[in-house]
Amino acid sequence: MSGHGRARRWAVVVALLAVLAALPAVVGALPADDADLSAPDLRDAVLASAGVGFSGYAVSAGGLSLPVSDQLPAVADLLSDRATMRVWWRGPDEHRVDVVSAAGETGVHVDPAGTWSWEYESATARRSDPAALALPAPPDLVPAALGRRLLSEATDDELTRIGARRVTGRDALGLRLVPAAPAASVARVDVWADAATGLPLAVEVVADGAAVPALGTRFLDLDLGAPPAAVVAFTPPAGARVLPGEDTGGLLREAADRELSPVRLPAELAGLPRREVAGAPATVGLYGSGVTLLAVAPLPGRLAAGLRSTLAAAPDAVRDGSSTRIAAGPLGLVLVEPPRSGAYLLVGTVTLDALAHAAGALTGAPS
């Protein structure tokens, strides 16, 4: 009898776990109350939610499969894997995000003076100053931050309402952004915002021609209200190894300082106007607006050589004269190596045709 009793108890445990695992889907299927709010008004409510404090759990899933893991391993992991995030958010310049992913566990603590990154496995703390040139980091994938970023430059005619649904037990109003730029490789961005506060609760980015999101992030649990400052703040513990943060703009500045390429960046590329980036070298260009952006940067020879071989090994790489280009979901990359000059990397949410046109404009080759 005891064996049968144990079996029944385990059966009960398994059944309970199955019910708990299904709860988010069940709650999400419950009907949500929509609101009579226009798309532009909902966008404005989302952008006004920057001061809303909260804490909770979120999960992000990326399918970009960037073939640049040797050069940018943290970015490749962040945009191609599933990550669970524990978030404490007091504001855009004061928050903490602990991330558990295939790469390990890392805590990111942001304060007005910079960022602490704490790697649990190696007991290593890194301190970084604010920078004009920065690679994507875990806080950028928090639904609230990503939703505001993607909607920050959306025009009224790019927006439509898409009803409402339940996210983490709250009524979430749907807003769809369809980029107007012909060069856009993003088909749509769907943002689901809390009806009461405008806080984005879930975000999905779908590439042109794709059926599933290339990038998605959503809250699993959310408590509104600013967390205590002591929870967000960070001081390296005794015995920790303390290092300077990785300088994400260092290679770009090195390329600019050494004038590795005489290519003069035009005022427009692929039909996208150049925009000003405070603090960026003159040889680094950013084009476009909203979710349709193209960045151009010179590369030192050692980085260009490694990137060339990595891109060329990708199964869908396209080699065209002095350039090699690939696409990873809505993200396109092209390495341009004009004759008798240094290399340039073009990366952005634009189509491969737009990348080819931009590469041709830089090298003077027909596109």
What's the whole-number mean pLDDT along residues 242-258?
Answer: 61
Are the C-beta atoms of residues 331 and 349 closer than 8 Å to each other?
A: yes
- Looking at the chain, the domain(s) classified CATH 2.50.20.10 span 23-244
**Can you tell me whether residue 219 is helix, strand or coil?**
strand
CA 123 to chain centre: 26
pLDDT for res 36:
85
Residue 9 to residue 181: CA distance in whole angstroms: 59
pLDDT in tens, 13-23: 555 545 544 44
For residue 309, pLDDT over 70 is answered with: yes
- Looking at the chain, the domain(s) classified CATH 3.30.200 span 250-363
Q: Is 210 exposed, middle or buried (0-12, 13-18, 19+ CB in 10 A)?
A: middle
For residue 69, pLDDT over 50 is answered with: no
pLDDT for res 313:
81
pLDDT band at 30 (very low <50, low <70, confident <90, very high): low
Dump strand ranges (E) for 170-314.
170-177, 186-194, 200-207, 215-224, 241-244, 268-269, 272-275, 285-289, 292-299
**Can you tell me whether residue 42 is helix, strand or coil?**
helix
Q: In the structure encoding, which two tokens stand for residue 281, read together?
A: 């070298």
**Can you tell me whether residue 51 is helix, strand or coil?**
helix
Residue 274 to residue 84: CA distance in whole angstroms: 36
> Which pTM was predicted?
0.84
CATH of domain 23-244: 2.50.20.10
For residue 287, pLDDT over 90 is answered with: yes
For residue 98, pLDDT over 70 is answered with: yes
Calculate the CA dihedral of residues 317, 186, 344, 337 and round it to 10 degrees.
30
For residue 3, pLDDT over 60 is answered with: no
Partner residues linked to 151 by β-bridges: none
Residues contacting 172, CB < 8 A, separation 6+: 32, 164, 165, 166, 192, 193, 194, 195, 201, 202
Q: Is 36 exposed, middle or buried (0-12, 13-18, 19+ CB in 10 A)?
A: exposed
What's the whole-number mean pLDDT along residues 66-71?
Answer: 54
pLDDT in tens, 175-218: 999 999 999 999 999 999 999 999 999 999 999 999 899 999 99
Are the C-beta atoms of residues 336 and 359 closer than 8 Å to each other?
A: yes
Fold of the CATH domain 250-363: Phosphorylase Kinase; domain 1 (3.30.200)
Partner residues linked to 287 by β-bridges: 274, 294
